[in-house]
Amino acid sequence: MHTPVLKKEALYYLDPNPNENFIDCTIGWGGHTFAILEKNAPKGKVLGIDSGQELINNLKNKAKALKLGRRLILICDNFANLEEIIKNYKFRKVSGILLDLGMSSWHLEESKKGFSFLRDENLDMRYSSFNPQGAEKILNFWSLSEIEKILREYGEESFSKQIAQEIISSRKDESIKTTNQLVEIIKKAVPRGYQRKKIHFATKTFQALRIAVNDELNNLEKVLPQALEVLNKNGRLVVISFHSLEDRIVKNFLKKCAKPSFVPQSVTSEGKEGLPAQYFSPGRIVSGPIVKILTKKPIAPSLEEIKSNPRSRSAKLRVAIKL
């Protein structure tokens, strides 16, 4: 059973009231969403997005059993397409948006897509079947420099060069197709002392591959400005991240939006370093910030939550309110 991380804290900051509308951009098993639906009854709605059709199908059955009717709208899509999704489904008056960037337990334990190094599965790692490139293709066809780069940048792996070299060497003998093959390759590449550390020696490589396969960081950078675009005034953006790369993107984006900004005459209405386009025209000085940050420091899980759900240990929650 998937346990939603920082559920109490997310609900506190989203502060759902009766008849308000919310968006869960990463609905997964729906742990956060069903809690919101209890608070925003009787007419409040939640638009739930997930790129995995299996998860959406499961939630449709659960919503039907709970007789939620039109209060839960489920969309199988990438949250990077947020504005288009909202436009297509005419979902308006949004009081809060949640982004829980962690994987659900289903991906690790039941998807059979190679997300976990603890199971011998095919190396896929795609959240969506519409994604044309799985982990196997990266491992068997990308160049040494490309593989090293994603291990270094997305995994922050100290032995990225050695692991990449071992991958290239191993695939000359046979294609790399399974998680067990990859774990053995990593084991050959890293020192024995590294293998005895508390964090499994394959963790960072698997993280890097998953991020690369699903283009996770670019999608996060795309959705954040869209989220501010669609929020009502005083609407709240809640983001739960699980590693430093995600958290850094969220932190820097919110800090930028919390300051007054100036756009030179030469700048068009698109691509203002990730800031929402509606706030800008060439040469315009923004008189005030776009958001107020409600969490000076990210909120982490309590010791009790970490004890009951060890996967929550790296979670960080940041919140901003739209001005």
**How does residue 268 score in pLDDT terms, banded at 50, 70 and 90?**
very low
pLDDT of residue 130: 83
Give the residue-averaged pLDDT of 101-105.
87
pTM: 0.89
pLDDT tens for 75-88 read 999 999 999 999 99
pLDDT of residue 274: 57
Contact yes or no for 40/46 (Cβ under 8 A): yes
| Residue 106 or 123, more confident | 123
* Pick from 30-44, 127-141, 271-285, 288-302: least confident: 271-285
Contact yes or no for 241/211 (Cβ under 8 A): no
* Residue 56: C-alpha distances to residues 64, 92, 100 (Å): 12, 21, 16
Please name each of the domains of the chain with its CATH number: 7-106+216-322 (3.40.50.150), 111-214 (1.10.150.170)
Residue 106: enclosing H or E segment and its boundaries? helix 105-109
292, β-bridge pairs: 321
pLDDT tens for 132-168 read 899 999 999 999 999 999 999 999 999 999 999 999 9
pLDDT of residue 254: 96
pLDDT tens for 18-50 read 999 999 999 998 999 999 999 999 999 999 999
Give the residue-averaged pLDDT of 245-270.
77
**What phi, psi does 100 have (nearest 5°)?**
-105, 105
Percent of residues, the chain, with pLDDT higher than 70: 91
